[in-house]
Amino acid sequence: MLTEMPPPRVAVDSHIAMCNNLHMATNLALDDKLIAEAQKAGRHRTKKDAVTAALAEYVKRHKQQRILEAFGSFDFDPAYDYKAERRRSR
């Protein structure tokens, strides 16, 4: 499902209101072909949108990887009753 993007100025104004700060411009030497491919694959209108989406996905995947690595590192108690814990008064 694709949603229509707000006009750029509206998006910037709402971002500033939510984030409560401005971001510094950053100059990066990026592979133009790779950026174009990312823009096409993600249907991003701008290079900035493509890079921001890529960074967000990168961070998300690394967080997921840390969770996956934690599997098997915790002791499991088969007698633990999570429903009883929910009923417990606090």
Kindly report, residue by residue over 47-79, the tens digit of the pLDDT.
999 999 999 999 999 999 998 888 878 888 888
In this prediction, residue 52 carries a pLDDT of: 93
Q: The whole model's pTM is what?
A: 0.55
Would you say residue 17 has pLDDT above 90? no
Distance CA 55, CA 4 (A): 22
* DSSP annotation string for 27-68: -----HHHHHHHHHHHT-SSHHHHHHHHHHHHHHHHHHHHHH
Task: Report pLDDT for 15.
Answer: 60
What span, in angstroms and rounded, lies between the C-alpha atoms of 31 and 56? Answer: 19
